[in-house]
Amino acid sequence: MEEKTEELRDIFLSVSEEETVTESQTEDRGSLLGGSDGDLTEVVEQLREKFGFELSMDEETRCRLIEAFYDGADDEQLAERFDLDAETVFEARMELHLLRDGEPQLPEETVEAIRGSERSAERLAEEFDTTAEEIRRCRAVLETRERSRRVSQRFRTAYEERLTDTELSDHLAAETHEDGLDGATEGAEVDVDF
């Protein structure tokens, strides 16, 4: 078997311009204290390449918006935090595939009528006793859901993985500072004046 391996190695070296057969597999050390911004930025850049963005917003703001979204901030809180209007926050969420549970907030029969309908938002709003803005938001949510589904929700999954990894890393890094002596000094007089 070793002869075959040597033959394959020699063939590889003669065909390729490489001088070695193996690839270095070392990882950088000290990843516990690293942040998620770099990782999230990569995901946002991949999303931009795949679908493009219409809003003019820098990557850092997009990443912070993702983090705040996963921290549970609603659109009004996000708008206040990033000094944006609620509509811009909604559009940014749609571009980033950040859908909330319960979106769109219309009855299911209305959502089904809107899905695939060519009628104007105003006409649908009249028919279903809602606002044209709600119809437009519903369409945006349905389009975002479809785009996200086409890529198997990989961007949302990537956000969640990065943010979960960061939370875990922060927790583990904080634990490394605990010395385990709390129990040993419990009940001891620590405010002694000599």
Q: Which residue has the higher pLDDT, 64 or 25?
A: 64
SS3 letters for 133-192? HHHHHHHHHHHHHHHHHHCCCHHHHHHHHHHHHHHHHHHHHHHCCCCCCCCCCCCCCCCC
- Which pLDDT score, from 0 to 100, does residue 183 have? 60
Is the confidence at residue 71, as pLDDT, over 50? yes
- Which pLDDT score, from 0 to 100, does residue 29 have? 47
Split at pLDDT 50, 70, 90, the class of 30 is very low
HSE at residue 27, side-chain half, CA atoms within 13 A, is 4
pTM: 0.67
Q: What is the mean pLDDT of the chain?
A: 82
Chain segment 101-110, per-residue pLDDT in tens: 989 989 999 9
